[in-house]
Amino acid sequence: MPTIELSRKAVEKLMGKRLPDEKLRDRISMLGTDLESVDRERIRVEVFPNRPDMLSEAGFARALSAFIGVKPRLRAYAARQSRYRVLVEPSVQEVRPFTACAVVSGLRFDDERIREVIQLQEKLHTTFCRNRKKAAIGIYPLEHIKWPVRYLAKAPADIRFHPLEAHGEMSAQGILELHPAGKSYGHLLAGKESYPLFVDARDEVLSMPPIINSHRTGRVSQKTRDVFIETSGFDLASQSLLLNIIVTALADLGGKIHVVKVLYPKGYGQRNLSTPDLAVRRMRLSREYANRLLGIALTEKDMAKLLGKMGLGFERGNALIPCYRADVLHPIDLVEDLAIAYGYERFEPALPQVATVGEAAPFTLFQEKVAALLAGLGLLETRSYHLSSRETQLEKMRAAPELVEIERSQNAELSVLRASLLPALMEVLQRNKRHEYPQRLFEMGACFSLDSATETGAAERFLLAYSGAHHKATFTEARQVLDCLGRHLGIQVSVRAADSPSFIPGRSGEIIVNGQALGWIGEVHPAVLSAFSVEQPVSAFELDLQKLFEVKP
């Protein structure tokens, strides 16, 4: 969790109330943060990653003032229309494609206020932005900018500007190799043929995200009154939320928020935007649902009062969520806020009215029995990641299941949830070719498939896979392992002749139990062996262990 150091004077001024040390310690701890220390000058506190809106004096004071009852309400913000424009060029689409921007005017900066803004930017970069990999933030004095601003990408050889805190102009490559920020974050641009830039109408560089601002146009000082703020990255929803956290904090410091039009080119796949979007969200919250989970009897009036202490609103069965809250994704998050506002110390402990004895779940015992049986046959158990790649799951296996994909994955090797265990066993064989044969392996684990009937859109299945690799591996060997397993479990297992693209035609079949097809068995196709660079024949089977458990005597 990030630790922030806040000016106590600034927090109490923004709250509109001064609390004694003991009261302040108690309320901060009960708000859901981990207090480290409080003295006359500073408050040191660890803020949970789900509340990035509290990483500044303004955001922390806003949350605490509502919690202690000074300003217990939903805070709504508005942005004024303006003529500010940011033009996104097609060149940046493959590098860091999206941006959300705003202008905040009427600010007053001194050394302490500049420290507060820098700390907010740094902590957001570390946490919410995942060390600038997910998004990056730029803040610039407005007086140095000639509009419109352009967001584009150029070849590294064509980039040269004076980076922040450097002695003079540097090339893009020089910044990555010599500047401290370039050394820390240069890997985020590694392998890119072009680097993103924000430039103004005079072609003056504002920044090279996600690395560094320009010294000429990106340095906020005590003379600064108005600022231009941009966020850049790969997920527009996250960038918009990030922008809201920053501009609402600056608005609480006396600033006025102005809309910036972000104009995307035709064919880019993104419509033009007016940012920031400060609209309040609505989420249905049932009183019965909340009371059942909390074990108390709240009225809707009680819920409105408690949610107000968490900076939320409540109206006709709907919670009203401010634009800067990143943590409210599901009604259970609102129930958690109700519990915090109600006070965990007020919940009365009660012994349950029933006596129960804990024991392992039947399916867990079944898994243990299966593992013991297969280990007794001399097989080695493996464990692999739930994440895989389309190439491993589809192309290499010559298969065509529908995959559950990770949205905007940054690693092609970990871009989907696995649909099958057999590719994982093939990868284990690929990585262990230097070891002696035979190599006989098994794995049990969760696999995933698309299912619109579930809340998440994905269904989870628990599978078992076996592979045997050596120069005499045959269908018969895999069938012997399968039959032995079924016999010891008391289950009649049969195989129906059928062809699968992953297995050799005529040397494979479907595994049938009680008339249900539970999986496949056979000799792995030479094309699959070649794709995984496995030089020995492989026999294998894979079946649905959950269904096998359901049909066992």
Per-residue burial over 170-179, b if 16 or more Cβ lie within 10 Å, else e, is bebebbbeeb
Number of Cβ atoms within 10 Å of the Cβ of 57 = 31
- CB–CB of 175/183 below 8 Å? no
The answer to whether the CB of 517 falls within 8 A of the CB of 542 is no
Average pLDDT score over the chain: 92
The first and second tokens of residue 45, run together, are 């506190």
- Local structure of 545: helix, strand or coil: helix
Give the pLDDT band (50/70/90) at residue 1.
low
Which range among 17-21, 255-259, 543-547 shows the weakest confidence by mean pLDDT?
17-21
**281-344 maps to which CATH number?**
3.30.56.10
Q: Is the pLDDT of residue 113 over 80?
A: yes
Question: In the CATH scheme, what is the code of domain 3-67?
Answer: 3.30.56.10
Q: Measured between alpha carbons, how far is 327 from 62 in angstroms, rounded to an integer? A: 16
d(CA 205, CA 361): 62
Summarised one tens digit per residue, pLDDT across range 201-250 is 999 999 999 999 999 998 899 999 999 999 999 989 999 999 999 999 99
- β-bridge mates for residue 512, sequence order: 494, 517
Rounded to whole angstroms, the Cα distance separating 312 from 336 reads 12
Residue with tokens 């589809």: 394
3-class state of residue 102 by DSSP: strand
Q: Is it the case that residue 174 has pLDDT exceeding 90?
A: yes
The confidence score (pLDDT) of residue 29 equals: 87
Mean pLDDT calculated for residue range 530-543: 95
Return the beta strands (E) in 77-202 as ranges: 85-88, 98-105, 135-141, 149-154, 160-161, 170-171, 195-199
Q: Indicate the CATH number of 362-551 among 3.50.50.60, 3.30.930.10, 3.30.70.640, 2.40.50.140.
A: 3.30.930.10
DSSP 360-410: --HHHHHHHHHHHHHHHTTPEE----SEE-HIIIIITTT--PPPEEPTT-S
Report the share of the chain in percent with pLDDT over 70. Answer: 99
Q: What is the DSSP letter of 134?
A: S
Instruction: Select from 223, 217, 198, 228 the least CA-distant residue to 103.
Output: 228
How many CA atoms within 13 Å lie on the side-chain side of 235?
16
Mean pLDDT score, 51-58: 92
Helices then strands, counting H and E runs in the chain, come out as 16, 28
Alpha helix segments (H runs only) across 68-139: 111-126
Backbone phi, psi, residue 537, to 5°:
-60, 150
Task: Give the mean model confidence (pLDDT) for residues 475-492.
Answer: 94
Closest CA relative to residue 61, chosen from 114, 125, 18, 117? 18
Residue ranges, comma separated, of all CATH 3.50.40.10 domains in the chain are 85-275
Residue with tokens 């000082």: 221
Burial of 355 (0-12, 13-18, 19+ CB in 10 A): exposed
φ, ψ at 450 (rounded to 5°): -70, 140
Enter the tokens of residue 311: 């900076």
Least confident residue range of 101-110, 114-123, 354-363? 354-363
pLDDT tens figures, 384-431: 999 999 999 999 999 888 898 887 776 778 889 999 999 999 999 999
How are the residues of the chain apportioned to helix, strand and coil, as percentages rounded to the nearest 5? 35, 25, 40
DSSP 85: E
Nearest to 245 by CA among 325, 142, 145, 172: 325
Entry field: residues in the chain: 553
Inter-axis angle of helices 57-67 and 236-252, nearest 10: 80
Fold of 85-275: Phenylalanyl-tRNA Synthetase; Chain B, domain 3 (3.50.40)
Residue in 245, 241, 242, 244 with CA at minimum distance from that of residue 59: 245
User: Which range, of 34-43, 247-256, 371-380, averages the lowest pLDDT?
Assistant: 34-43
Q: What does the alpha-carbon distance between residue 261 and residue 151 come to, in Å, rounded to a whole number?
A: 13
Whether omega for the bond prior to residue 331 falls within 30 degrees of 0, making it cis, is: no
Q: How much is the pLDDT for 456?
A: 83
* DSSP notation for 234-290: S-HHHHHHHHHHHHHHHHHTT-EEEEEEEEPPTTSS---EEE---PPEEEE--HHHH
Query: What are the backbone dihedrals phi and psi of residue 102, each rounded to the nearest 5 degrees, phi first?
Result: -160, 165
Q: What is the pLDDT confidence band of residue 138, given thresholds at 50, 70 and 90?
A: very high
pLDDT at 331 over 90: yes
Q: How far apart are the first and last CA of the chain?
A: 49
- Is the per-residue pLDDT at 34 higher than 80? yes
Cα separation, 397 vs 172, whole angstroms:
43
- 172: tokens are 């893009």
Helix, strand or coil, per DSSP, at residue 2: coil
* Residue pair 103/247 in contact by the 8 Å Cβ criterion: no
Distance CA(420)–CA(363), nearest Å, equals 20
Residues of the chain with CATH 3.30.56.10: 3-67, 281-344
